[in-house]
């Protein structure tokens, strides 16, 4: 079993720990993911997201640099077991030298401020995937889950229903967003449509030529949350040669019941996987754990327990050949088609 995971928020977790006087490190920590557990589970590659909540900092670009400094420092300190991916060939080279690979991503396109120069600077920093939006509108586009609308809504129950179950079908990528996507493809940065609105997904289809990713999104037919993909999106993503990453967030796996604790049973993850591959084919699915950006899934507490995912998906009927595709080979194919 080899693993490629397209999304985790571990760098943000390290940053928050240090802000609170806890000096966590990437090699071993108390979060969901660290290098020790990755090595134990035979990770081939981990995408490390630099996540910025633009409403909780005065300067999102400055916050990005702080997160980036942690990422670079941790890679330097652990260069004996992990190395960055800047070109596709680095993945095989790192594996040949006995090292895991790290790929840098950004979650929240607003850090660019709509400036092409910042996009080019992120590429030079090593960023190879960007989630166009998080949960706020920005210069590039609109999200499905809009925290501004949730905050401004007068009715709590109605606001949650809107936020969680009602997709944004009217507003997608802005003109600036389209320009950015063109430039991302030219540079070799993969556009990521997780968090982007439904309208934005279809805009992405119009303005891209290469495969793109939904790095951490499940199936809306299994759990109605709008962070998940509709069947039509899954089909069109597959037709483009793209990929979606199975997300272990409990509320994206199984619809929450008001007042009840959502444990996120792993059977639900297997159900999402089966639905996605039934709709889009085996080639469209990968892994996008969202580790350290979600509450702990009690049946999958972290990177050291990935064998549980393999086992339950095997019990659900997948062959080992199919599981190898889901766990790493499909992502390898997409990266080969998109990275320089």
Give per-residue pLDDT as tens, 197-211: 999 999 999 999 999
Residue 39 has a pLDDT of 98
pLDDT digits (tens, 9 = 90+) for 305-328: 999 999 999 999 999 999 999 999
pLDDT at 120 over 80: yes
Residue 162 has a pLDDT of 84
- Percent of the chain at pLDDT exceeding 90: 89
- Percent of the chain at pLDDT exceeding 70: 97
- Tell me the mean pLDDT in the region 3-28: 97
- Tell me the mean pLDDT in the region 103-122: 98
Please list the alpha-helical segments (H only) found in the chain. 10-19, 35-40, 60-77, 89-96, 116-125, 147-152, 156-165, 175-187, 198-207, 231-239, 250-253, 266-280, 306-315, 320-324, 330-338
pLDDT digits (tens, 9 = 90+) for 261-270: 777 678 999 9
pLDDT digits (tens, 9 = 90+) for 244-281: 999 999 999 998 776 677 776 789 999 999 999 999 99
Residue 157 has a pLDDT of 66
Q: Each residue of 89-111: b (16+ CB within 10 Å) or e?
A: ebbeebeeeebbbbbbbbbbbbb
Q: How far is the C-alpha of 306 from the C-alpha of 317, rounded, in Å?
A: 17
Separation in Å, CA 279 to CA 238, 255, 283: 9, 21, 11
In contact, 57 and 63? CB cutoff 8 Å:
yes
Residue-wise DSSP of 114-171: T-HHHHHHHHHHTEEEEES-SSS--SSB-BSS-HHHHHH-S-HHHHHHHHHH----S-
- Tell me the mean pLDDT in the region 10-15: 98
Residue 265 has a pLDDT of 75
Residue 150 has a pLDDT of 78
Q: How far is the C-alpha of 187 from the C-alpha of 122, rounded, in Å?
A: 10
Q: In the block, which residue shows the tokens 């920005």?
A: 138
Q: How far is the C-alpha of 88 from the C-alpha of 103, rounded, in Å?
A: 10
Q: How far is the C-alpha of 242 from the C-alpha of 237, rounded, in Å?
A: 5
pLDDT at 296 over 90: no
What residues have CB less than 8 Å from 258, skipping those under 6 apart?
A: none
């Amino acid at each position: 079993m080899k693993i490629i995971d397209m999304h985790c928020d571990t760098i943000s977790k390290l940053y928050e720990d240090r802000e609170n006087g806890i000096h966590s490190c990437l090699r071993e920590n108390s979060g969901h993911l660290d290098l020790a557990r990755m090595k134990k589970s035979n990770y081939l590659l981990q995408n490390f997201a630099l996540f910025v909540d633009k409403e909780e900092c005065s300067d999102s670009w400055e916050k990005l640099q702080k997160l980036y400094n942690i990422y670079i420092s941790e890679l330097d300190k652990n260069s004996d077991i992990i190395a960055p991916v800047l070109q596709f060939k680095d993945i095989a080279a790192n594996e040949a030298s006995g090292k895991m690979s790290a790929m840098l991503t950004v979650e929240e396109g607003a850090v660019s401020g709509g400036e092409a120069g910042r996009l080019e600077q992120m590429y030079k920093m090593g960023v190879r995937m960007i989630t166009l939006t998080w949960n706020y509108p920005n210069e590039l586009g609109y999200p499905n889950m809009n925290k501004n609308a949730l905050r401004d809504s007068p009715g709590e129950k109605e606001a949650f229903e809107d936020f969680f179950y009602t997709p944004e079908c009217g507003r997608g990528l802005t003109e600036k967003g389209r320009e950015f996507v063109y430039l991302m493809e030219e540079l070799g940065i993969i556009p990521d449509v997780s968090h982007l609105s439904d309208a934005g997904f279809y805009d992405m289809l119009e303005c891209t030529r290469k495969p793109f990713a939904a790095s951490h999104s499940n199936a809306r037919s299994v759990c109605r949350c709008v962070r998940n993909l509709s069947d039509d999106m899954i089909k069109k993503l597959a037709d483009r040669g793209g990929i979606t990453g199975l997300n272990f967030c409990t509320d994206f796996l199984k619809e929450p019941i008001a007042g009840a604790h959502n444990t996120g049973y792993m059977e639900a993850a297997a159900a999402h996987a089966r639905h996605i591959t039934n709709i889009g084919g085996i080639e469209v699915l990968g892994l996008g754990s969202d580790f350290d950006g979600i509450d702990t899934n009690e049946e999958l507490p972290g990177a050291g327990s990935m064998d549980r995912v393999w086992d339950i998906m095997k019990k659900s009927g997948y062959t080992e050949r199919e599981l190898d595709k889901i766990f790493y080979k499909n992502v390898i194919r997409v990266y080969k088609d998109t990275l320089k």
